[in-house]
Amino acid sequence: MTMMRYILKLIRNIFTLTGSENQSRMRKHIILFGPPGSGKGTQAKKLEEKYGIIQISTGDLFRYEMSHDTPLGLRAKAYMAKGELVPDEVVIGMLQNKVDATPEAKGFIFDGFPRTIPQAEALDQLLADKNEQIGKLIALTVSDGELVNRLLERGKTSGRTDDSNEEIIQNRIDIYKKDTSPVYDFYDHKNKSCSVDGIGTIDDIFDLLCQEIESI
């Protein structure tokens, strides 16, 4: 290879590297937050379609593992059936594997994660190791009565045991208030939390979420 061709190749490599570093720095990571039944999964799918950022739903990942009777699924089953949280170390490991498996993603919508402060700390560390961070946490606010109605309605067809019993649903809401809602304050202290009214049509709520995402 002539000296000139070598120099040209070197310059091209430097530009390619800088481009991918910039792209990585610009990745948008959103936490879609809210109590069970607030519409996180419903909206995350629409956001994924519009922005091309990947939805990671820890609930969906567990349901997939359970339907395949994997060791992880069997471990999660007992907790989910009672409406309790799966232990942090199990969730964090699974989430980390999922993030690392899609390095080309333009960003992630974390749906149903983090649900505890240790999960939030682990997520921030995972992203910091990649020189990245959460752009925004957006919470969907919905009254308890509406949550119970929505989940009981879904339970009629979803086959999800955690949706078909009012006591289990109430347990999930109580756990959200005790263990999960502090995650809102955790990101609020970093000026990253905001709330959106989760009652209304799916399209109207989606528009409000888009406004929040575009203001990052």
Could you list the residues that contact ligand B4P (CB under 6 A)? 34, 36-42, 58-59, 62, 79-80, 83-86, 91, 112-113, 115, 119, 150, 154, 162, 172, 202, 205
Q: Report, in Å, the least distance between residue 40 CB and ligand B4P.
A: 4
Residue 5 falls in the annotated catalytic set: no
75 flagged as catalytic: no
The residue among 136 and 172 lying less far from ligand B4P, judged by its C-beta, is 172
Query: Residue 30 forms beta bridges with which residues?
Result: 109, 136
Annotated active-site residue 156? The verdict is no
Ranked by CB distance to ligand B4P, the top (closest) residue is: 59
User: Is the four-CA dihedral 119, 123, 129, 131 of positive or negative sign?
Assistant: negative
Nearby residues of 9 by Cβ (< 8 Å), 6 or more positions away: 1
Is 192 a catalytic site residue?
no
Structure tokens at 60: 């969906």
Contacts of 109 (CB under 8 A, 6+ apart): 30, 31, 32, 44, 47, 48, 53, 54, 55, 56
- The catalytic position among 28, 115, 136, 150 is 115
Active site annotation includes 63: no
Q: Which is nearer to ligand B4P, 203 or 214 (CB)?
A: 203
CA-based nearest residue to 48, from 30, 61, 23: 30
The catalytic site residues sit at 40, 115, 154, 160, 172
